[in-house]
Structure 1
Amino acid sequence: MAIRIRHADDTVLEAHEINVTPFIDVMLVLLVIFMVTAPLTTVNVPVELPSSTQQPTPRPDEPVFLTVKADHTLSLGENDVAATQLTEALNAATKGNRDERIFLRADKTVDYGTLMDVMDHLRSAGYLKVAFVTLQGGNIPARTTGATP
C-alpha cells in the first residue's frame, strides 16, 4: 500500500493500486501447462458415445461358453465340437432358445478371420446375442460385453 502526501492541503490519500504482475505470471504459467497437456488428453477420433442408465445384465445361472482354442478348434462348455456340428450342439445346449446369450471366449493368438468365421456360424444359427469374455488384470474374469455379430 502506498501513501501519497499532497503538499497543498496536507490531506493523506491512499493509492488503491494492486501489483498484478505476479498474477499475470501465474496465469501465463497455467496457460502454458494447459496448452501442453490438452493435446495429450484428447483422442483424435471424433465419436459421439452413447450413454446408458441401465444396470449391467446379471450373469445367467448356467451360461453357455463357446471357446475358440489356439489351434482354431471349438469347445462348447467342456466338450469339443466340430464347426460343422456347432448349430446342433448350440441348440442342445440352449434347448433351442435362440435368445440366450452365448459367451464367446477366444485364445489371444486366434486371428481375426477365425473369430469372424465363428461369429458368422453363430449368426447363421440364429444366435444374435453374443458376449465377449475377457480377462482383467491377472486371471480374474472381467465383465462381458454384449455384441451382435
Structure 2
Amino acid sequence: MAVRLDDGDDELSEINVTPFIDVMLVLLIVFMVAAPLSTVDVAVNLPGSSAPPADRPQDPLWLTFTAEKALLLDETPLDRTAVGAALDARTEGNRETPVFLRADRSVDYGALMGVLDALRNAGYLKVALVGLEGAP
C-alpha cells in the first residue's frame, strides 16, 4: 500500500510482520516443551500386558494404588473411605465415567480387590486396569 505525502516524497508503508513471527515461534517452542511436562505421572511399577493398546480418552480419571498401599486420585492422596465422594466430586456425579486403575506390581491381590470393591460400592463399574504396553 503506497502513501503519497504532500511534499512530493513517495513513501512505502508496510506492516513489518517479522517480530510477530518471532513471537509466534517462541510461543510454539514454549508450548512444545511445556506440554509433555503437564502429564500426570506417579511412580508405579506396573505389570506388563501383551494386549494391543487401547485408545486413550481425552481427560482420563486416574486412580493409583502404590506399593505402600496409598490411594491417589490423579496426584492427590485419597482416603479409602472417601473414594465415592472424591470420584463424585471429580466426575460431577457421572458414574458412567471410566476409571483407569494403576496398581503397583507388588500390591497383593486382596488389597487390589479391596480397592475394586470400594469402586463398586461407590457405583463406578467401568474400571480399566492399566499395564505396560507390549510387555510379556
Normalising by structure 1, what TM-score?
Answer: 0.52
Tell me if 1:125 matches 2:117: no
Identify the residue that residue 7 of structure 1 maps to in structure 2.
Answer: none
Q: How do residues 22-37 of structure 1 correspond to structure 2 at under 5 angstroms? A: none
From the CA coordinates, give the structure whose radius of gyration is larger: 1
TM-superposed deviation, 1:137: 4.7
Q: What is the CA–CA distance in structure 2 between the aligned matches of 1:58 and 1:95, rounded to whole Å? A: 23
TM-superposed deviation, 1:92: 1.1
Q: How do residues 1-149 of structure 1 correspond to structure 2 at under 5 angstroms? A: 58-137=55-134
**Paired residue type of 1:90:** L
Where do 5+ consecutive residues of structure 2 fail to align? 1-52
- Report the number of matched residues: 83
Per-residue CA deviations over 1:20-77 (Å, capped at 9, x if unaligned) read xxxxxxxxxxxxxxxxxxxxxxxxxxxxxxxxxxxx8642211100000101110000
Q: What is the CA–CA distance in structure 2 between the aligned matches of 1:137 and 1:58, rounded to whole Å? A: 14
Where do 5+ consecutive residues of structure 1 fail to align? 1-55, 139-149
Normalising by structure 2, what TM-score?
Answer: 0.57
**Paired residue type of 2:114:** D
Q: What is the CA–CA distance in structure 2 between the aligned matches of 1:127 and 1:75, rounded to whole Å? A: 16
Q: What is the CA–CA distance in structure 1 between the aligned matches of 2:68 and 2:54, rounded to whole Å? A: 31
Over 6 Å off, 4+ runs = none
Q: What is the CA–CA distance in structure 2 between the aligned matches of 1:82 and 1:127, rounded to whole Å? A: 16
Q: What is the CA–CA distance in structure 1 between the aligned matches of 2:57 and 2:93, rounded to whole Å? A: 16
Identify the residue that residue 21 of structure 1 maps to in structure 2.
Answer: none
Q: What is the CA–CA distance in structure 2 between the aligned matches of 1:83 and 1:110, rounded to whole Å? A: 15
Higher RCO structure (Cα 8 Å, ≥6 apart): 2
**Paired residue type of 2:119:** L
Taking every aligned residue pair, what percent have the same amino acid on both sides?
Answer: 52
